[in-house]
Chain A
Amino acid sequence: MPKNLTRRQALVLPVGIALGSFASRYAMAADPVKVGLVAALSGQSAKSGEGITRGLTIAIGEINAGGGVLGGRMLELVRRDDESNPAKGQTAARELIDKEGVAILFGGIDSPVSQAIVPLVNAAHVPFMGVWAAATNITRNGANPNYVFRVSAVDVLVDRALIKHAMASFGAKTPGLMLVNNGWGESNLGGLTAAAEAAGIKLAGSEKFEDKDVDMTPQLKRLREAGADAVILVGNAAPGAQVVKSLQRSAWPVPVVSHWGISGGRFPELAGSWAGKVHFIQTYSFFGPQNDVGKRVLAALMAKYPDIKGPGDVTPPVGVANAYDAMQLTALALAKAGSSDGDKLREGFLNIDSYQGLIKNYTKPFTDANHDALNENDYVMVRYNGDQIEPIAG
């Protein structure tokens, strides 16, 4: 057996693969319509990628069972792991668009990754649907035509909700900010400052931490000395957990109101006994009375995934719910567009009239002025009870 490829083989192999990929891209009829997902499938936010995958899968299952899209073509999900790394996310997006030929790209939890992909999809004329990452400038990116849509929270609106909750539930008058040191944290710094001003209160201060930090006691001490009576947290599961542990170590029982980053990973396990004290935001909860769609989705989840035995096991609900509705809206857009061409699909989204969805009933979800389907009325505040996410009454 030859030790190495012969020169001819070394030449033919890559050319053959390239040709094969071109061929598959241009093959016709009865071919699946591929939809791509670039999300964190590993690392501290792996659970988020899993949740999004489940939401998309359930929706795709329903759509395909009902005859597929564009006259009988089945939907097919192709996933890539961005490892929460913007550069990797960009490469994955390129690959999915050029090599796999996806009709639309779904995004993941990390705002920096989505922010890196946005210019790419706008240049490639392929629609991008955010289902979690909430940075304001992802959809409000100044491009015209704008190919980025989102069924998820928007930081500028979330920040108003967080301030409101801190004031209403904890009577906070001088909250302090603990923000992760990246594009997402920056997006919220702007939003929280504006929201506090609009609500007529002052911030005690604003501190940054790195995603990989383990000890936030210095920052918390400074906030405490500045008179913070609540902490507003923006960060993912691992650093969020360390913030809580640092609070526990400092024995400072201050109320904590958090953005939803912490729900993307194993927050209760990593944070320990104080995890349940944190109030955070979601766009949906599977607890309580559900509409028909909710009941159907929950049943499908329980049937397909053995670890889901009840509404409390759908962790995190955000990824699942957002992704489900986003996929269904995509199917509607495809129907309106009549093709999987990027430009037509974009128009298709803007032409959707209504959709009775999981999170809510959508009427004209996307317009030229607003590519975000959800607003602050769709948010709900929750907390962890053990490993389950429960809504907070009132």
Chain B
Amino acid sequence: MRIIVIVLAAVLAGGAVAVCLFAPGYYAYLLGTLAITTLVGVGLNVLLGLAGEVSLGQGGFLALGAYGVGILTTKAGLGFWEALPLAVLLVAAISAVLSVPALRVTGPYLAMVTIAFGFIVESVSVEWRNLTGGASGLTGIPAPFGTGGTALLACGFCVLALTSFHYFARSPLGLAMQATASAPAAARSIGIGSLPVRTAAFVLAAVAAGLAGGLQAALTGFIAPSSFPFSQSILFLLAVVLGGAGRALGPLVGSAVVVLLPELLAGLAEYRLLVFGAGLLIVLWIAPGGIAGAIARVVMRGESVSASPSNVDLAMSHIANAGGSLLAEGVRVAFGGVVAVAGVDLNAQSGRVTSVIGPNGAGKTTLLNLISGFQHPDSGTVRVGSREITGQPAHDVARAGLARTFQTAQPFGNLSVLDNVRLGLLRGAWRGEGPTALARALRGLSFSPDEHTFVTSWVHCKRLVKTSGPCYLLPQL
């Protein structure tokens, strides 16, 4: 299997080099466009495939990157290799600024912000004529190597991006993004702050698009506002979804369809959007994993869980080895005139199971929400060990060592069991390995070896997955 992949990659690489260097300019240009589209797609794959947010404004970042390189080379006299990193930095900065208003919202609201951004960039590039050349755009943008070489450079960046994505999706930050997309509340409960994670995804997507834009400026030598129409942002989204959101090779497959299919059907070029729109619908209906997802299902059966005996002692010692005890004093909260929790004291010793009992409406869930950071108490203090956590948000509380499960259990359905456990152990950290052996051990406690990799709705399994992370447990009634 590995060998097939390596040989295939080598052949494709050889083919790309041959086309870029020896074929007439148009084919190199086509390949370069494919690489650039894939690059934007990889960025969007991080934002959509991992963090679950729809952006219809990637064209805006593409334009910014392109104009950055275009202006720096034609007006400021910089060389391409100096202009490109500067342009990318500019895009990163602008996206960080935009993320402040943008990520306060989600779903269709975020889509609107990204659309608005795209239109603003287009209008500014028309109006700021002294800088951007206005509607006529910029010509004579220098390419580092000529069309073939620049296309090859774009291919190189594209390959780099695709491989990086593969490793990134497995990394702590990548897992955190997927967790936030899958079950935001649960993610907060194990220490993953939603805003920083989504901001990271947003900026990464923008940077990828900006880099692609800079390459496009060099590849075509000419950019104008009309080079970045709104329909292009839709095409990027289409490429990612069609190819398979969240899959490493998804953007490549999707971009190949979007860029190369019109070439094969040159006579029907005017209907290409119709075909793509219909294609997107069909993919969404019957193959939500996209083309790459469908291929993966056929080619790669689920990884079988290793049959090696799990290290039960390691797992048990981790669970038993808890930190300080939980101490709550005088916790009180009122909603309007209704006092939900009136001065509760709670002492839960480590290594023991403590129960909170009460009739319906007594305020048990509210008390747990107050302690674990999902709601703010009006007064009172909460400590874990010697550390005070009163009123802190849930993800900070989780990092202090306190987590909670929910009445309706929410595992991260798009991650494997192992990744669920690893995430819990990471406690919201963005770096670090996450002790894999420990995670495997913990997983082994509740699994027989031939279970399917992805989490199924097993209440027992979920409890274990969620509570193995922090060092303290809060049982639910």
A binds B: yes
Chain A residues near B (Cβ < 8 Å): 3-4, 7, 11, 14-15, 17-18, 22, 25, 42, 81, 85-88, 90-91, 94-95, 97-99, 112, 115-116, 119, 124, 181-183, 186
Set of chain B residues within 8 Å of A22, measured between Cβ atoms: 23-24
- B439-475 interface with A by 8 A CB criterion: none
Q: Does B282 contact A (CB under 8 A)?
A: no
Set of chain B residues within 8 Å of A86, measured between Cβ atoms: 136-137, 222, 224, 226-227
With A99-B26, A183-B135 already in contact, the answer to whether A11 and B221 are too (CB < 8 A) is: no
Q: Does B264 contact A (CB under 8 A)?
A: yes
> Dominant SS at the A interface?
helix
The complex places the Cα of A137 from the Cα of B269 at a distance, in Å, of 31
- 14 A-B residue pairs with Cβ-Cβ distance under 8 Å, sorted by A, are A3-B294, A11-B8, A14-B260, A81-B269, A87-B222, A87-B227, A94-B29, A98-B24, A98-B25, A98-B26, A112-B135, A116-B137, A182-B134, A186-B136
- A116 lies within 8 A of B224 (CB): yes
- A90 lies within 8 A of B220 (CB): yes
Set of chain B residues within 8 Å of A4, measured between Cβ atoms: 291, 294-295
- A182 lies within 8 A of B136 (CB): yes
Instruction: For the complex formed, measure the closest distance between the CB of B402 and the CB atoms of chain A, giving whole angstroms.
Output: 48
Instruction: For the complex formed, measure the closest distance between the CB of A262 and the CB atoms of chain B, giving whole angstroms.
Output: 19
Q: Which bracket fits the contact residues of B? A: 35 or more
Set of chain B residues within 8 Å of A25, measured between Cβ atoms: 24
Q: Does B229 contact A (CB under 8 A)?
A: yes
4 smallest CB-CB distances across A and B, nearest first, come from A98-B26, A87-B227, A183-B136, A182-B135
- B1-37 interface with A by 8 A CB criterion: 4, 8, 11-12, 15, 19, 23-27, 29
- B8 lies within 8 A of A17 (CB): no
Instruction: For the complex formed, measure the closest distance between the CB of B473 and the CB atoms of chain A, giving whole angstroms.
Output: 47
Set of chain A residues within 8 Å of B264, measured between Cβ atoms: 17
The complex places the Cα of A97 from the Cα of B136 at a distance, in Å, of 23
Set of chain A residues within 8 Å of B29, measured between Cβ atoms: 91, 94, 98
Set of chain A residues within 8 Å of B135, measured between Cβ atoms: 112, 181-183
Q: Does B139 contact A (CB under 8 A)?
A: yes
The complex places the Cα of A3 from the Cα of B290 at a distance, in Å, of 12
- A87 lies within 8 A of B8 (CB): no
Set of chain A residues within 8 Å of B15, measured between Cβ atoms: 11, 15
- A94 lies within 8 A of B270 (CB): no
Instruction: For the complex formed, measure the closest distance between the CB of A251 and the CB atoms of chain B, giving whole angstroms.
Output: 31
Set of chain A residues within 8 Å of B196, measured between Cβ atoms: none
Q: Does B298 contact A (CB under 8 A)?
A: yes
The complex places the Cα of A137 from the Cα of B179 at a distance, in Å, of 57
Q: Does B279 contact A (CB under 8 A)?
A: no
The complex places the Cα of A194 from the Cα of B227 at a distance, in Å, of 32
- A95 lies within 8 A of B260 (CB): no
- A87 lies within 8 A of B298 (CB): no
Q: Does B140 contact A (CB under 8 A)?
A: yes
Minimal Cβ-Cβ distance residue in A for B24:
A98
Minimal Cβ-Cβ distance residue in A for B226:
A85
- A18 lies within 8 A of B222 (CB): no
Total A-B residue pairs with C-beta atoms closer than 8 Å?
Answer: 80
- B26 lies within 8 A of A94 (CB): yes
The complex places the Cα of A263 from the Cα of B186 at a distance, in Å, of 64
- B275-295 interface with A by 8 A CB criterion: 291, 294-295
Minimal Cβ-Cβ distance residue in B for A78:
B266
- B220 lies within 8 A of A119 (CB): no
Contact bitstring B227-269, A, C-beta under 8 A = 1, else 0: 1010000000000000000000000000000001001100001
The complex places the Cα of A14 from the Cα of B27 at a distance, in Å, of 11
With A85-B226, A98-B24 already in contact, the answer to whether A119 and B221 are too (CB < 8 A) is: yes
Instruction: For the complex formed, measure the closest distance between the CB of B254 and the CB atoms of chain A, giving whole angstroms.
Output: 13
Set of chain B residues within 8 Å of A99, measured between Cβ atoms: 24, 26-27
Set of chain A residues within 8 Å of B19, measured between Cβ atoms: 18
Set of chain B residues within 8 Å of A119, measured between Cβ atoms: 139-140, 221-222
Instruction: For the complex formed, measure the closest distance between the CB of A122 and the CB atoms of chain B, giving whole angstroms.
Output: 11
Set of chain B residues within 8 Å of A182, measured between Cβ atoms: 134-136
Set of chain A residues within 8 Å of B222, measured between Cβ atoms: 86-87, 90, 116, 119
- B23 lies within 8 A of A18 (CB): yes
Instruction: For the complex formed, measure the closest distance between the CB of B13 and the CB atoms of chain A, giving whole angstroms.
Output: 12
Set of chain A residues within 8 Å of B24, measured between Cβ atoms: 22, 25, 98-99
With A115-B136, A186-B136 already in contact, the answer to whether A181 and B23 are too (CB < 8 A) is: no
The complex places the Cα of A231 from the Cα of B298 at a distance, in Å, of 68
Since A116-B137, A116-B222, A186-B134 are in contact, a sample of 6 more A-B pairs with Cβ atoms closer than 8 Å, ordered by chain A residue number, is A22-B23, A86-B222, A94-B26, A98-B29, A181-B135, A186-B136
Q: Does B126 contact A (CB under 8 A)?
A: yes
Set of chain B residues within 8 Å of A95, measured between Cβ atoms: 26
Set of chain A residues within 8 Å of B269, measured between Cβ atoms: 81
The complex places the Cα of A42 from the Cα of B269 at a distance, in Å, of 12
Minimal Cβ-Cβ distance residue in A for B140:
A119
The complex places the Cα of A124 from the Cα of B147 at a distance, in Å, of 12
Instruction: For the complex formed, measure the closest distance between the CB of B69 and the CB atoms of chain A, giving whole angstroms.
Output: 16
Minimal Cβ-Cβ distance residue in B for A7:
B8
Minimal Cβ-Cβ distance residue in A for B19:
A18
Instruction: For the complex formed, measure the closest distance between the CB of A76 and the CB atoms of chain B, giving whole angstroms.
Output: 15
The complex places the Cα of A151 from the Cα of B137 at a distance, in Å, of 26
With A95-B26, A99-B24 already in contact, the answer to whether A85 and B294 are too (CB < 8 A) is: no
Set of chain A residues within 8 Å of B221, measured between Cβ atoms: 119
Instruction: For the complex formed, measure the closest distance between the CB of A47 and the CB atoms of chain B, giving whole angstroms.
Output: 17
Minimal Cβ-Cβ distance residue in B for A14:
B260
Instruction: For the complex formed, measure the closest distance between the CB of A27 and the CB atoms of chain B, giving whole angstroms.
Output: 15
The complex places the Cα of A156 from the Cα of B134 at a distance, in Å, of 21
The complex places the Cα of A85 from the Cα of B136 at a distance, in Å, of 11
Set of chain B residues within 8 Å of A94, measured between Cβ atoms: 25-26, 29
Set of chain A residues within 8 Å of B8, measured between Cβ atoms: 7, 11
Minimal Cβ-Cβ distance residue in B for A187:
B136
With A119-B139, A186-B136 already in contact, the answer to whether A42 and B270 are too (CB < 8 A) is: yes
Minimal Cβ-Cβ distance residue in B for A3:
B294
Set of chain B residues within 8 Å of A186, measured between Cβ atoms: 134, 136
Set of chain B residues within 8 Å of A115, measured between Cβ atoms: 136
- B26 lies within 8 A of A97 (CB): yes
Minimal Cβ-Cβ distance residue in A for B223:
A87
